[in-house]
Chain A
């Protein structure tokens, strides 16, 4: 039988190494630190935005439109590589599974840019498993999402390995750490 803990260790190590290493995301995240403050982020401290105002933004389309206040919308900054229903719309939260479901032991990983502090963070996307599909707030974001031959960054796999049920319900986006 499949050992979910083994896969978890393998997956997490691999994904973190890949996501924080020499990836495009790593480059973007470093570039992101030096980005100009955009007027769409009014919560940003004024002094900080002025300090970076001279640089040229190199943001993806998702990053340009990302927001930090509403985690029930597809453009919430942590959802840059999510595919599925948002658990925030299903009785759970951004990192909480709804009642009656279990978080998957394994995850796929994205690196998302937070426009509020202009840092990039590693995000572990876990599916919540064990009950019928929620079907609310379906998103399919693809920043850095890769095909199945790079499974650690693939958002189409049902990641419910190792839970008591493979039934997909919704997806969460837990913050794992700073990507730099």
Chain B
């Protein structure tokens, strides 16, 4: 042996020293880091809401949610809210409609608020949302009459139900304002009092609900009350939500790019908005991000091959970004150094620079997006 030959110069124990035994461990559970405005919340078809940090493109946690759930977050991510439907025996037994409240630090369930119903449909933002200050929750119900269920999120109870005949969806704004869209192509203001009861107070007809309806996922800045209702053809109808709401001059996404406005003619192939969630709005810069594809009418869910950046103040196209995979949903963080998020149908997340379109980071296997949310906290 070498150590034997070298004798006293090199003890055998020094050459053959075994590595130290690894320390024993206790299983534990991580808690959430402090939320930042670059967090993205992604609801998927299989259920659950995945929280991804846009600065690292890594998952930081997942909120429990049934399939076809709605999702909203309290300011600063202190709590998360999931509107969902479950049954006592998995998919049979007694139906339970719930607003489930989760702690933002541990993601543990705090409370189930029982709801008197809710629409079960592929999750969309205007099925469940909160007031801008986060004190009220609003759940859209259709059973079969349309109504809005108002929830006091601080006291954690249902306040009341407001019928909205021939209308659907909820677009909260400010502390207590709510707007809805109606089957005849009108926007309706809904006044809901402190008891959670209310009525439609005003109606503004502004679009053709049969020929060229507005997207459900039209962007709304709840704090500022600025809504951009965008039609399948790409007409942008700015509305200042209030009591009453006021309609501003409409403009065309295509005209902003120097093209003719899109029509409902099947022969017209042009750039059109489409996807699961085709739009995102950044309130600070007043920029609109739109997933666009070249195609004919009635392809409103077709993913976008390009992302258009538009200035909503000047109605001008600022930039066009070609996407690495077609975009099914788009989001933008609401801070002053925003990140752009694009998700594809096959589960890619692309984190992009909104100024240049450069891909900063990516994550795969995110799932098929239903909902997308960001927070300005």
Interface centre among B85, B216, B265 (most CB of A within 10 A): B216
> How far is A156 from B125 in the complex, measured between Cα atoms in Å?
13
Kindly count the residue-residue contacts between A and B in the assembled complex, taking CB atoms under 8 Å apart.
100
Instruction: Tell me the nearest residue of chain A to B85, going by C-beta.
Output: A166
Give Cα distance in the complex from A75 to B120, angstroms: 27
A143 to B169, Cβ gap below 8 A? no
Given contacts A7-B144, A149-B183, A150-B209, A60 and B119 within 8 Å (CB-CB): no
- With A58-B266, A147-B215, A148-B124 already in contact, the answer to whether A140 and B298 are too (CB < 8 A) is no
Interface residues of B in 98-123 (CB under 8 A from A): 119-122
Q: How far is the CA of A164 from the CA of B299 in the complex (A)?
A: 34
Report the interface size for chain A: residues with CB under 8 A from the other chain.
Answer: 39
B95→A147 contact, CB < 8 A: no
Q: A148–B297 contact, CB under 8 A?
A: no
Give every chain B residue within 8 A of A7 (Cβ-Cβ).
144
Other-chain contact of B122, A24, A156, A167 (Cβ < 8 Å): A156
**Could you tell me the distance between the alpha carbons of A157 and B142 in the complex, rounded to whole angstroms?**
10
Q: Is the interface of B mostly helix, strand, loop or mixed?
A: loop
Q: Are A156 and B209 in contact (CB under 8 A)?
A: no
Who on chain B is nearest to A62 by CB?
B298
User: Among A6, A11, A164, which residue has its beta carbon within 8 angstroms of that of B92?
Assistant: A164
On whether the beta carbons of B85 and A147 are closer than 8 Å, the reply is no
Q: What is the interface size of chain B, counting residues whose CB is below 8 A from a CB of the partner?
A: 41
CB distance from B305 to the nearest CB of A (A): 15
Give the residue name and chain of the B residue nearest to A152 (CB): B183
Check if B95 sits within 8 Å of A166, measured CB to CB: yes
Contacts of B92 in A (CB 8 A): 130, 164-165, 167
Give A11's nearest chain B residue, CB to CB.
B144
Q: Does B358 contact A (CB under 8 A)?
A: no
- Indicate the member of A18, A131, A154 with the most B CB atoms within 10 Å: A154
Complex Cα spacing A116 to B294, Å: 28
Write the chain A residue with the least CB distance to B186: A149
Q: Which of B210-265 contact A (CB under 8 A)?
A: 210-211, 213-216, 264-265
CA distance A145 to B181 in the complex (A): 16
A11 to B144: give the CA distance in the assembly, Å.
Answer: 9
Q: Is the CB of A143 within 8 A of B298?
A: yes
Q: Let me know if B120 and A157 touch, CB within 8 A.
A: yes
Give the CA-CA distance A26 to B341 in the complex, in Å: 40
A106 shortest CB reach to chain B, Å: 8
Residue of B nearest to A148 (CB): B168
- Given A148-B169, A149-B183, the answer on whether A24 and B210 have CB atoms closer than 8 Å is yes
| A93 at interface, CB cutoff 8 A | no
Is the pair B210, A61 in contact by a Cβ cutoff of 8 Å?
Answer: no
Partner pick for A61 among B168, B215, B295, CB 8 A cutoff: B295
Question: Cβ of A142: which chain B residues have Cβ within 8 Å of it?
Answer: 298-301
Alpha-carbon gap, A103 to B36, bound state (A): 46
Whether A10 and B298, one on each chain, are in contact in the complex, defined by CB atoms closer than 8 angstroms, is no
- Do A158 and B121 form a contact, CB below 8 Å, given A60-B297, A167-B91? yes
Taking CB atoms and an 8 Å cut-off, the chain B residues in 258-289 that contact chain A are 264-267
The one of B143, B213, B264 in contact with A147, judged by C-beta atoms closer than 8 angstroms, is: B213
**A130: chain B residues within 8 A (beta carbon):** 91-92
Give the Cβ gap from A83 to chain B, nearest Cβ, in Å: 8
Q: Determine whether A161 belongs to the interface, using a CB cutoff of 8 Å to chain B.
A: yes
**In whole angstroms, how far apart are the Cα atoms of A165 and B120 in the complex?**
12
The complex places the Cα of A149 from the Cα of B170 at a distance, in Å, of 10
CB distance from A169 to the nearest CB of B (A): 10
Instruction: Please report the C-alpha to C-alpha distance between residue A142 and residue B278 in the assembled complex, in whole angstroms.
Output: 15
State the CA gap A150–B105 with chains docked (Å). Answer: 39
Q: Which of A60, A150, A164 contacts B266 (CB 8 A)?
A: A60
Interface: B332 (CB within 8 A): no
Tell me if A69 is interfacial: C-beta within 8 Å of chain B.
no
**8 Å CB contact of A60 from B169, B210, B296:** B296
Contact A149–B182 (Cβ < 8 Å): yes
Residues of B within 8 A of A6 (CB): 144
* CA of A148 to CA of B214, assembled, Å: 11
Is A59 within 8 A of B122, CB to CB?
Answer: no
Query: 6 nearest interchain CB pairs?
Result: A167-B91, A149-B168, A156-B122, A7-B144, A157-B121, A149-B181
Task: Using CB atoms and an 8 Å cutoff, list the residues of chain A in contact with chain B.
Answer: 2, 6-7, 10-11, 18, 23-24, 58-63, 106, 130-132, 140, 142-151, 154, 156-158, 160-161, 164-167
